[in-house]
């Protein structure tokens, strides 16, 4: 799928702005600054495709990318702290929740977790929303390059324990670094396998 080259389709600010549900889609959710946009760029091999930045709250719309005629990739606004006015943040958090619980063609949600921090209470809340909405989700660890090898397993155990309480979670974790390229091929293969 990735050989064909992904393209930006549109940024969506309200549920009625979503494109027609005419193909499956995969979305990337996670706390502000966890690396959602960077991961989409790494997966598609296009550095500037999704806008990434060091300012939490960079992505403020639901951004659609056409992967193929059969598949959209969806970059979501982050949750948790964001460097933006409260009213604005509340608006996009509401949109995020509506999207995650109400998109029939959403095949899998990737919930990104910073490998330095593990699963936080806000991540747990999003996972509960996905459970209730019956959206299968898989955890992708990000920024693995920032964690010493010796520390990695400890955090992974914490994440695995947190997933035990979530029936919609896939047990397999994908460990990635958008910076170094770790895990990117694995994640592409997972997305390729979705139909």
- Nearer CB in complex with ligand GTP: 35/127: 35
- Helix, strand, coil: what percent of the chain each, to 5? 35, 25, 40
36 binds ligand GTP (CB under 6 A): yes
58 binds ligand GTP (CB under 6 A): yes
Distance separating alpha carbons of residues 177 and 140, to the nearest angstrom: 10
Q: How far is the CB of 40 from ligand GTP (least distance, A)?
A: 8
* Number of amino acids touching ligand GTP (CB under 6 A): 24
Helix axes 149-163, 121-132, angle to 10 degrees: 40
- Nearer CB in complex with ligand GTP: 61/124: 61
57 binds ligand GTP (CB under 6 A): yes
**Residue in 179, 186, 188, 194 binding ligand GTP, rule: CB under 6 A:** 179
Positive or negative CA dihedral for 184, 146, 116, 40?
Answer: negative
Distance separating alpha carbons of residues 189 and 165, to the nearest angstrom: 27
63 binds ligand GTP (CB under 6 A): no
**Residue in 177, 184, 187, 191 binding ligand GTP, rule: CB under 6 A:** 177
57-116 residues in contact with Mg ion (CB under 5 A) are 58-59
DSSP string, 73-133: EEE---BS--SS-HHHHHHHHHHHHHHHHH-TTEEEEEEEEETTT---HHHHHHHHHHHHT
37 binds Mg ion (CB under 5 A): yes
Q: Which stretch binds ligand GTP (CB under 6 A): 12-20, 84-92, 139-147, 187-195?
A: 139-147
């Amino acid at each position: 799928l990735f050989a064909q080259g992904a393209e930006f389709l549109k940024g969506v600010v309200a549920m009625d702005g979503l494109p027609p549900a005419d193909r499956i889609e995969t979305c990337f959710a996670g706390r502000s600054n966890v690396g959602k946009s960077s991961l989409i760029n790494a997966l598609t091999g296009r550095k500037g495709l999704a806008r990434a930045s060091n300012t939490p709250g960079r992505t403020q719309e639901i951004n659609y990318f056409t992967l193929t005629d059969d598949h959209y990739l969806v970059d979501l606004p982050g949750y948790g702290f964001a460097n933006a006015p409260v009213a604005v943040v509340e608006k996009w958090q509401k949109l995020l929740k509506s999207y995650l619980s109400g998109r029939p063609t959403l095949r899998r949600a990737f919930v990104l977790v910073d490998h330095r921090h593990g699963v936080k209470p806000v991540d747990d809340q999003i996972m509960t929303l996905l459970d209730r909405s019956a959206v299968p989700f898989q955890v992708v660890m990000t920024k693995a390059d920032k964690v010493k090898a010796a520390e990695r397993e400890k955090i992974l155990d914490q994440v695995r324990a947190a997933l035990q309480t979530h029936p919609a979670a896939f047990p397999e974790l994908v460990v990635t670094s958008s910076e170094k390229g770790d895990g990117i091929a694995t994640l592409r293969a997972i997305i390729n396998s979705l139909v």
